[in-house]
Amino acid sequence: MKTIAALSVLSLAAATPHVKRDDYSAIDGSFVSPPCCSFLTSPPDATVLNFALTLEHLENAFYQEALGKFDQQAFTEAGLPESARALFEQVSAHEAAHVEFLSAALGEKATQPCNYSFPYSTPKEFAAVSQILEGVGVSAYAGAAKYIKNPDYLTAAAVVLSTEARHASWVAQAVNNVEPWSGPLDTPLTLDQVYSLASPFITSCPESNPALPVKAFPSISFTPTTAQPGDEVTLSFNGSADGQTALFLTGLSQIVANVSDSKVTIPQNLTGTVYLIINKDGQETVSDNHTVAGPAVLQFQKSLSELTNGTASTNGTESSTGTETADGAESTDGSASTDGSESTNSTSSVSILSSYTGQC
């Protein structure tokens, strides 16, 4: 079992400046509710696709920057598989194709790329960020599908979603050496939840870009950072108050836990990637109207060596996008057993993806 220390990669990104928009007209000219409010009606299809395109622009820039920074020797010296960089080049080409594909579908309504700041300094940190970004992308498309009415747009989103899922699985297993999935079902996220995870990377955008009806919730941090299912953790976030509840999102289910004195116990038997949100006033349903903070990304993924050895421990730590070994090399190991059981000697991770604290 690997020894792991915390690396709060995206906590750095949370401090980056963010451009706030005051124009909440949809790109087709219809009115949508401002960021502090829920949608009065479902957003137009073009708005949903432009939201997806915003994420694709981000991913496209992320891969192009990293591949321009790290050559094959850097990947090799970092201990990554020899094939990693070549396949990341393919992933990068896919993201560029997604941008072209969605831009063509939107035509003149297509949003343009922004300026970004990505928090990594080594190939292993880049790979850890990649796994989280691809996973959030899958959850973004899954959550946005219900808004799309046009069957052509829905097909466009579906074929991108399936490729993003392949990316996430490959990075997890072949590069980061952990289980390639969280279970039988992925977890859908709302537009606001996804934007809360993506906005720390965005430093500025063209003034001509269409406004998106989204807001960002405050980020959540944990103590201790090496928590595992069944452990009590102390939460820190803007807006903490008595009577709040923690919702752990896994697949299409949510597990509710009471927050008392800023403390909550992580539920037993969580596996894979889990999202945590904090609700106000004891609310136990997933709704942006109820959300106070989050989501945070928690990773409880079993390493491939543990699968081979038949053990059930969980490795990992807090990280906005991954973990770091004691000698400074990042690792994304984290897990739980396939039957949901927990090893008594496990050190599973709470992998935190920090979000921008938006103000309305």
Q: Would the pLDDT of 228 be above 70?
A: yes
Q: Would the pLDDT of 330 be above 90?
A: no
Q: What is the pLDDT of residue 311?
A: 54
Q: What is the pLDDT of residue 306?
A: 82
- Site of tokens 């297993």: 173
Residues 134-158: tens digit of each pLDDT? 999 999 999 999 999 989 889 988 9
Helix (H, G, I), strand (E, B) or coil at 134: helix
Domain 9-204: CATH class, spelled out: mainly alpha
Q: What is the pLDDT of residue 254?
A: 94
pLDDT range class, residue 304, cuts 50, 70, 90: confident
Q: Which amino acid is at 123?
A: P
Comparing CA positions, the residue from 160, 169, 101 lying closest to residue 135 is 169
d(CA 318, CA 331): 11
User: Measuring CA to CA, how many Å separate 105 from each of 46, 102, 148, 154?
Assistant: 9, 5, 13, 11
Range name among 19-28, 111-120, 177-186, 258-267 with the lowest pLDDT average = 19-28
Q: What is the pLDDT of residue 226?
A: 84
pLDDT range class, residue 195, cuts 50, 70, 90: very high
Q: What is the pLDDT of residue 247?
A: 97
pLDDT range class, residue 310, cuts 50, 70, 90: low
Q: Which residue has the higher pLDDT, 102 or 226?
A: 102
Question: Within 13 Å, how many C-alpha atoms sit on residue 301's CB side?
Answer: 29
Domain positions in the chain: 9-204, 221-331
Q: What is the pLDDT of residue 357?
A: 29
Kindly write down the DSSP assignment for every residue of 148-180, as one continuous string: ---HHHHHHHHHHHHHHHHHHHHIIIIIT-B-S
Residues 42-72: tens digit of each pLDDT? 688 889 999 999 999 999 999 999 999 999 9
d(CA 37, CA 278): 17
Range name among 43-47, 176-180, 270-274 with the lowest pLDDT average = 43-47
d(CA 315, CA 335): 6
139 in Cβ contact with 186 (< 8 Å) = yes
**Token pair listed for 140:** 């973004």
Q: What is the pLDDT of residue 331?
A: 39
pLDDT range class, residue 8, cuts 50, 70, 90: very low
d(CA 83, CA 103): 30
- Identify which of 188-197, 312-321, 344-353 has the greatest average pLDDT: 188-197
Q: Would the pLDDT of 317 be above 60?
A: no
Across the chain, mean pLDDT equals 79
DSSP at 322: -
312 in Cβ contact with 346 (< 8 Å) = yes
Burial of residue 331 (number of CB atoms within 10 Å: 0-12, 13-18, 19+): buried
d(CA 312, CA 177): 15
Q: Which residue has the higher pLDDT, 360 or 122?
A: 122
Provide mean pLDDT across the span 76-94: 97
**Token pair listed for 178:** 């952990």
DSSP at 28: T
d(CA 277, CA 176): 26
* Main-chain phi, psi angles of 346, to 5 degrees: -80, 160
Q: Give the CA angle between residues 246, 348, 125 to the nearest 5°.
A: 100
Q: Which amino acid is at 196?
A: S
Rounded to whole angstroms, the maximal C-alpha distance in the chain is: 58
Q: Which fold would CATH assign to domain 221-331?
A: Immunoglobulin-like (2.60.40)
Q: What is the dihedral of CA 70, 73, 75, 78, to 10 degrees?
A: -110
157 in Cβ contact with 144 (< 8 Å) = yes
Q: What is the pLDDT of residue 252?
A: 95
**Do 9-204 and 221-331 share a fold?**
no
DSSP at 285: S
Provide mean pLDDT across the span 180-186: 93
pLDDT range class, residue 41, cuts 50, 70, 90: low
192 in Cβ contact with 288 (< 8 Å) = yes
DSSP at 211: P
Comparing CA positions, the residue from 62, 59, 61, 81 lying closest to residue 72 is 81
